Structure 1
Amino acid sequence: MAATDDILRDLPIDQLAQQLGADPQEVQQAAQAALPALLGGLHANAQDPGGASSIVEALGQHDDDLLAGGVDLGQVDQADGEKIASHIFGSNEEQVYSALGSSGAGGGLVKRLIPILAPIVLSYIANRVLKGGAGGLGGGTTAASTSDSSAQGGPGSLDSMLKDVLGGALGGGTATQQAPQQTQQTQPSAGGSILDVLGGLLGGGRR
């Protein structure tokens, strides 16, 4: 899962482990489980037009380049991360943590890690959707250049590009080529096994 690998490369695992009072290897394992869960939850919610618009709005509030030059944990707002996780997972939030724990990732550690990772994930996606990063708008196009007619979920709209970016982040190509449930259940990478464990829980957040 390319997005997970990209974000993990920029995470100061040792510093994060010290902050959480955990072993770096355990933190690495928990992050490898938490990141696909966050990305999968965003992708599932983005299939609903209201959910996609809500995510695009959230991206505008997290256009902060948290990953530029490596993540500075001092810049991560964990309270904001808790709100993000609540929106992504909705009433299924505790079930998601339980499912991740049953996968061997350490549910308690994942629960403490997700509020840290959630703003980082949104910053990562914002860079691609709003700034034309890898898999985003491309060609130097900015969000402001999208026409009013394309802003409602049609081809070239931010909603459509959000789905494509999230679909690519999950390793499944463009989101428009697959249904949400297929995306969750057919991932070939290590992240796919996490999504299999979560099953239908993803996408239960506020749309």
Structure 2
Amino acid sequence: MRLIVATTVAGALLLGACTTDPYTGEQKISNTAGGAALGAGIGALGGMLAGGNDRRNALIGAGVGALAGGAVGVYMDRQEAELRAQLQGSGVSVSRQGDRIVLNMPSNITFATDQDSVMPGFYGTLNAVGLVLKKYNQTIVDVNGHTDSTGSDSHNYALSQRRASSVADYLGAQGVDPRRFAVNGYGETQPIASNANESGRAQNRRVEIYLTPIT
């Protein structure tokens, strides 16, 4: 049976989106939620009660508008264009799956070998992603970690989870509303290339970000 480790990164709704910067240890308030923390918190709580832990309901309850009809495609087209412009030459690929946008971040540019702390040289790329995510806030964000097949299953699951969490934490520290995030570690269970050679293993070691419109 495939084990999927999943956690939701969420702030205390009634206290606003207060997060800890994982690199400085400082407490900071999300720019997205800081303007009207109490009202947003109460609205989000209503959404949570109406739809369990559904992020869409929570965000709609907090006042983030939903997209409908032809507006969905236009909104995602514009977001995709800005991401492509910001990430050109960064090593991060941008692809489209229907109305979803997928960012593929190879681990060789994101993390040192077998480590889960984002490399300082990648901060600028994540800063650019954060700017676009804050501008286009009508999406939910799934951050998925993956590894190759080297090492034990338990090690790979844990490493993939920690790496995905590091990326989500960094983006949250840049002011992206943490209520938008879900963080998933898949270990070696979802390869996109063969693990029989180094080239394939390198492709499998990655963090993917899926951006899905709130509809």
Q: Which has the higher contact order (CA 8 A, sep 6+)?
A: 1
TM-score by length of 2: 0.26
Q: Who wins on radius of gyration, i.e. which is larger?
A: 2
Please state which structure has a larger fraction of its residues in strand.
2
Give TM-score, length-normalised by structure 1: 0.26
